Amino acid sequence: MEKLLEELEQADVGKVSANEPLAKYTTIKIGGPADILVQPKDIESIGKTIQIIKKHHANWRAIGRGSNLLVSDKGIEGVVIKLGNGLDHIETDGETVTAGGGVSIVKLSTMLSKQGLSGLEFASGIPGSIGGAVYMNAGAHGSDMSYILVKAHILFEDGTMEWLTVDEMEYSYRTSVLQKKRPGICLEAVLQLKAGKKEDITAVMQKNKDYRRETQPWNYPCAGSIFRNPLPEYAGQLVEKAGLKGHKIGGAQISEMHGNFIVNAGGATAKDVLDLIQYVQKTISEKYGVAMETEVEIIGR
């Protein structure tokens, strides 16, 4: 790891640090250290970083703004590439928008609303990045990324980069081709929006934000929705019906506001969260015969 660290530092790919705690890079504020954390300064630097990692036969993975993510207490082996400031470009051409994978989806939706561009209102309260939203087909309020994505610039596990059309992303509920079939990360995305009235767009966004504030635990560190909705059932309603709201293991607690959120109530570990997830799965299975699959991505040692 020392030689790999040294070469990454010398390559001037961006900020490079060793044994970096990942808790400060996740929205739930949990996570052990990455052996090496790289925060690339641009897309070219990502390609260079991957080449160096492959040369040293090291493991790697990428993260965005750290929402929808639970990192092991033991951290992550190898290199973690943090997509952020180096991938925060935004370009608009009429109703077409190109955004870097590190762009905050809340920031983008707000900016586009001021330009009178409609289509991203659903994302006004989603605390993630464009890259993460493309990866998991993020959605809310009856819409998701599949409605507006034209194509996405993807970095695959083998280090190659390619543009995939929305059809090639093979979208379904909170799922894309990038999660299992062709593992990769989104470096940038081209979105197709529609012109609309600024006041109408702003009103819808405010309504969505208000709904989130009234129903979700925004005042505690959390990772977002923990379980996929086992349609036609809803995960939060099942948890509430089972009397599990507020249930606590260690520092992890099922939110009093919404049954599909686990919050870090103070000093929670990844093990606390995992134990609570398993307790919910067991309880719901026994009571209702429903298998609860996680939506949050669980990674690390």
The segment(s) of the chain belonging to CATH 3.90.78.10 are 218-299
**Residue 75: phi, psi to the nearest 5?**
80, -160
Average pLDDT over residues 182-189: 91
For residue 91, pLDDT beyond 90: yes
pLDDT of amino acid 205? 86
**pLDDT tens figures, 245-275:** 999 999 999 999 999 999 999 999 999 999 9
Average pLDDT over residues 18-39: 96
Q: Letter for the amino acid at 251?
A: G
The CATH topology of domain 2-82 is 3.30.43
For residue 215, pLDDT beyond 80: no
Sheet holding 14-21, edge to edge: 14-21, 33-40, 76-82, 60-63
The segment(s) of the chain belonging to CATH 3.30.465.10 are 88-200
**Residue 177: phi, psi to the nearest 5?**
-65, -20
Closest CA to 120 of 87, 145, 91, 95: 145
Euclidean distance between the first and the last CA atom of the chain, given in angstroms as a whole number: 16
Kindly state the DSSP code that residue 66 receives in the 8-state scheme: S
pLDDT of amino acid 100? 94
DSSP of 96-140: EEEEETTSBHHHHHHHHHHTTEES-GGGTT--SBHHHHHHHT-EE
Task: Give me the active site residues, please.
Answer: 174, 225, 295
The segment(s) of the chain belonging to CATH 3.30.43.10 are 2-82
The CATH topology of domain 88-200 is 3.30.465
pLDDT of amino acid 267? 95
Q: How many H helices and E strands in the chain?
A: 7, 19
**What is the second-level CATH architecture of the domain 218-299?**
Alpha-Beta Complex (3.90)
Classify strands 69-71 and 297-299 as parallel, antiparallel or unpaired: parallel
CA 173 to chain centre: 15
Which two tokens mark 183?
């593992």
Considering only residues 231 and 270, tell me which one the structure prediction assigns the higher pLDDT: 270
